[in-house]
Amino acid sequence: MERRRFTLVAALAMSGCLAVACGDTGGGGGGAGGGGSAPAKPIIGVDYPRSDTDFWNSYISYVPKVAGELGMELKTTNSQNDIAKLTANVQTLMGQGMRSVVMAPQDTAAVAPTLQQLEAKKIPAVLVDTRPDTGNAFMVVRADNRAYGEKACHFLGEKLQGKGKVVMLQGDLASINGRDRTEAFNECMKQNHPGVKVFGEATKWDGAVAAQKLSTILTANPDVKGVYMQSSFALAGTLQLLRQRGLLVPPDDPKHVFVVSNDGIPQELKEIAAGNIDATVSQPADLYARYALTYAKAAAEGKTFQPGETDHDSTIVQVRPGLLEDQLSAPLVTADGGTYGGIPSVKHDDKSLWGNNLR
């Protein structure tokens, strides 16, 4: 079970040194006891990717709180899931004297020119949640998205006893997150549960599209017994459809359709407790904000990092030359806290989950 190390996090926030092989490449700077006025707060630019989902609204709520703790000044924009707006927003932030920028591009291919421009200006970029298909960044703060698909696969495979039909409501295949979750889920099912038929439906992270496609599949295949939602964007529409069709019944009812989501928002945890959905993978909105800003501050201070274990229960991996990724933990969450396919889960009411700690 993942446990937060709050005292350690506080120490890291002060030092900016998250990995064992962390070094300072900055040119000196003032030592202790030098007197004079306090140094100016670094200006960090943050582009919020969207504000139409509970997950990203939670992330947005954490950012200013963490910035205050870390002693930085924020300049923020919101690109509303539009790569053209993201490009324009970064131009705006560059004109406001930012020392580094945090962003979460939803189109991971089209962000390459923006990353190239930042690199040319020597402005470090920290990416949250998504990894660029090409281009460099100071750090990517992200959970292992392939593990999301694998955890959902093992849970549903066991619940369906290796046979039946499952609908996978994909995100957007223009995003590496959508591709990672989709490929991992399909590969895991093929290898471990070949008797399960998977209907993959791309939705572009759009709840209305997800509901329409799920309705079509359920009409043609009323014997569907599982749904994997790659994000909580599809939660409301999925529950409404199951309710309309008389399928929103307790897990011990033979008509129950097993539902796994991704995000770990409070509503998902409530629906697990109510028996309406069965599991989610808790994507750490709180830690995304904390470590994205911690790395952004470290970049502004000239620090560097190397692959290896961190002091916050994650691993920095080198994706390719010029791109490191800090892979944060994202636990499977269930009603019983059991183990599925060898993967331990966290019980839905566990206080270590960020979705249980929102104020």
* Confidence check: pLDDT of 203 > 80: yes
User: Which pLDDT score, from 0 to 100, does residue 174 have?
Assistant: 84
Q: Are 140 and 323 in contact (CB under 8 A)?
A: yes
Q: Are 130 and 115 in contact (CB under 8 A)?
A: no
Helix (H/G/I), strand (E/B), else coil: 76: strand
As a whole number of angstroms, the distance between CA 317 and CA 320 comes to 9
User: Which pLDDT score, from 0 to 100, does residue 60 have?
Assistant: 97
3-state helix, strand, coil in the chain (%, to 5): 40, 25, 40
Mean pLDDT of 262-281: 97
User: Which pLDDT score, from 0 to 100, does residue 359 have?
Assistant: 63
* Confidence check: pLDDT of 358 > 90: no
* Confidence check: pLDDT of 230 > 70: yes
pLDDT tier for residue 322 given thresholds of 50, 70 and 90? confident
DSSP 310: B
User: Which pLDDT score, from 0 to 100, does residue 11 have?
Assistant: 36
Mean pLDDT of 81-105: 95
In 98-219, beta strands by DSSP E:
100-103, 125-128, 139-143, 164-170, 196-202
pLDDT in tens, 169-183: 999 888 889 999 999
Helix (H/G/I), strand (E/B), else coil: 210: helix
- The secondary structure element, H or E, covering residue 185 is helix 176-192
pLDDT in tens, 11-69: 333 334 444 344 443 333 333 334 445 567 889 999 999 998 899 999 999 999 999 99
Q: Are 47 and 86 in contact (CB under 8 A)?
A: yes
The angle formed by the CA atoms of residues 80, 217 and 251, to the nearest 5 degrees, is 90
Give the percent of the chain with pLDDT over 70: 89
Mean pLDDT of 288-292: 98
Q: Are 136 and 119 in contact (CB under 8 A)?
A: yes
> What pTM does this model have?
0.84
User: Which pLDDT score, from 0 to 100, does residue 106 have?
Assistant: 86
Please name each of the domains of the chain with its CATH number.
6-24+42-143+284-328 (3.40.50.2300), 145-282+332-356 (3.40.50.2300)
User: Which pLDDT score, from 0 to 100, does residue 175 have?
Assistant: 86
- The secondary structure element, H or E, covering residue 117 is helix 112-120
Q: For residue 310, give the nearest of 17, 3, 10 by alpha carbon.
A: 17
pLDDT in tens, 136-179: 999 999 999 999 999 999 999 999 999 999 999 999 888 889 99
- Residue 180 sits at φ, ψ, to 5 deg, of -60, -50
Q: Tokens at residue 265, please?
A: 């928002």
Q: Are 299 and 324 in contact (CB under 8 A)?
A: no
pLDDT, the chain, mean: 89
